Structure 1
Amino acid sequence: MTATRPAGLRAFYENPAVPVASGPERGRRQAAMLARALGPEPALIVDIGCGDGSAAAIAGPLLARHTLVGLDWSQDALRRAATRMGHVVRGELTDGGLPLLDGAVDAVVFAEVLEHLVDPDVALDELRRVLKPRGHLMVSTPNLAAWYNRALLLAGVQPVFSEVSLRGIHGRPGTEVVGHLRLYTARALREFLVAAGFEVVRVGGAPFHGVPRPLRPLDRIACAAPSLASILLVHARRR
């Protein structure tokens, strides 16, 4: 699922109890964005960091005409993903670590992975390698500048999604430790992708299932302004 990690992080992500997704709505919105980008011609899509395949199962009906392959470094995750996806394969986001030929893939789904990476630069180099020229990259990641995080920072509170420890929650709302190592704003993510050799086509937003129920209508409204949304959705193409 990620570039080279210390052994402690590896054990952390092998734990099936660690949450791996931001909610089904993100999966549906990202799949719809990709389906529109691909059009009617059958394509090869690789879901890199597929985890247990739950997000792919949500996306499946919207991408039914295409071939969807799940890829992860965790054998345990792949065993679970195999019950939800037709094709799974093991690989790592190291230099040359993906078991795919140069320019072999029409589209890569890179959902809820970027925030966990020790070395995102090497990871994006590898994604660019396996994508065809003008191939599609669909990225989703939590938004450091989500509407509620802006208010929390003003109040001196650690933002949601950010973590200071893998052992517990300190200084921020929430109850789950999920192993986020870095976070992005919409501007930072766009600039990062461009610097890595991609053209950003569209930036969208998705809600987060962890937002308290009374605030969820506001969270959905914020998706209309992606820089304020809980989850950033980016469609980019390899240059």
Structure 2
Amino acid sequence: MTTAPPQRERPHGLRDFYEDPDVTVASGTPRSLRQARMLADALGPATSGVQTVIDIGCGDGTAAATAAPLLAGHRIIGVDWSQDALKRAHTHIPYAVRGELTDGGLPFQSASADAVLFSEVIEHLVDPDAALDEIHRILRPGGHLMLSTPNLAAWYNRALLLAGVQPVFSEVSLRAIHGRPGQEVVGHLRLYTARALREFVAASGFEVVQLRGAPFHGVPRPMRPLDRLACRAPSMSSILLLHARRT
């Protein structure tokens, strides 16, 4: 007699989904390192003055921990909505607090942050406009926004769409994968092309400084050299890395 595998309880909403410890809250090291190098170049050494970096959507804290050696001397504070993620984040970074990307939902005064890391978060949001408004509020004038998000127009997604296949990163359900490659449901609600991301961020009160590409850790090993090559053309890369400044 065989026993049927246990059925995973279906999430009742976004809050239940992100509080599920089985949902991935970490991201790839190559993307984290590239983004941290961009921020380190923008901030300069801490000998010029300690600056405050807010990692919004810090997840389990691994991205902030990866960035910390490159941002030595600067103050890094993690923020997340999920209590489960914050418990894990405290094992990687010294400061992690709860906050939401709503009007006044982040526990920081206006113009109090020198930089915001916004890594692999915007694609999960119902209201990205309110999120950028809140980030704009806490950043000082001239403060840095380092945003990363999957690229809807990644080189393989273009081929998949031509074949009538749902693009990688896009999801039609919080319960299961339908019609696309991959094995994990991670809760993506919105996806951007390079052009759309630039226009959206600029319309939200930021000056776009640069846009770079980064590889995706989930690309099959034989295809990774091609994925790294695509980073030379950010509009075709797996991950979009955008640096903007608050105007």
User: TM-score, normalised to structure 2's length?
Assistant: 0.93
User: Could you tell me how far 1:80 is from its partner in structure 2?
Assistant: 1.0
Secondary structure of residue in 2 paired with 1:18: coil
What residue is the counterpart of 2:192 in the other structure?
A: 184
Secondary structure of residue in 1 paired with 2:64: helix
User: Could you tell me how far 1:21 is from its partner in structure 2?
Assistant: 3.8
Residue 159 of structure 2 aligns with an amino acid whose one-letter code is: A
Secondary structure of residue in 2 paired with 1:192: helix
What residue is the counterpart of 1:219 in the other structure?
A: 227
Does 2:36 correspond to 1:24? no
What residue is the counterpart of 1:130 in the other structure?
A: 138
Instruction: Name segments (4+ residues, structure 1) moved above 6 Å.
Output: none
Does 2:63 correspond to 1:66? no
User: Could you tell me how far 1:68 is from its partner in structure 2?
Assistant: 0.3
Does 2:107 correspond to 1:104? no
- Preserved contact between residue 20 and residue 112 of structure 1 (Cα < 8 Å): no
Residue 62 of structure 2 aligns with an amino acid whose one-letter code is: S
Secondary structure of residue in 1 paired with 2:140: strand
Does 2:150 correspond to 1:145? no
Q: Which protein is bigger by CA-based radius of gyration? A: 2
Secondary structure of residue in 2 paired with 1:199: strand
Does 2:159 correspond to 1:154? no
2: distance between equivalents of 1:20 and 1:205?
21
User: Could you tell me how far 1:166 is from its partner in structure 2?
Assistant: 0.8
- Preserved contact between residue 25 and residue 85 of structure 2 (Cα < 8 Å): no
List alignment gaps of at least 5 residues for structure 2: 1-10
- Preserved contact between residue 21 and residue 112 of structure 1 (Cα < 8 Å): no
1: distance between equivalents of 2:81 and 2:54?
14
What residue is the counterpart of 1:49 in the other structure?
A: 57
Residue 226 of structure 2 aligns with an amino acid whose one-letter code is: L
Identity %: 73
CA RMSD of aligned residues (A): 1.1
Does 2:95 correspond to 1:87? yes
What residue is the counterpart of 1:3 in the other structure?
A: none
- Render the CA deviation track for 1:186-230: whole Å, top value 9, x for unaligned: 000000000000000010111001101100000000001100100
Does 2:178 correspond to 1:170? yes
User: Could you tell me how far 1:7 is from its partner in structure 2?
Assistant: 5.9
Between 1 and 2, higher relative CO (CA 8 Å, sep ≥ 6) is seen in 1
Residue 34 of structure 2 aligns with an amino acid whose one-letter code is: R
- Render the CA deviation track for 1:166-190: whole Å, top value 9, x for unaligned: 1111111111100000100000000
Q: Which of the numbers 5, 16, 38 marks the counterpart of 1:11?
A: 16
| Number of residue pairs matched by the alignment | 234
Residue 39 of structure 1 aligns with an amino acid whose one-letter code is: G
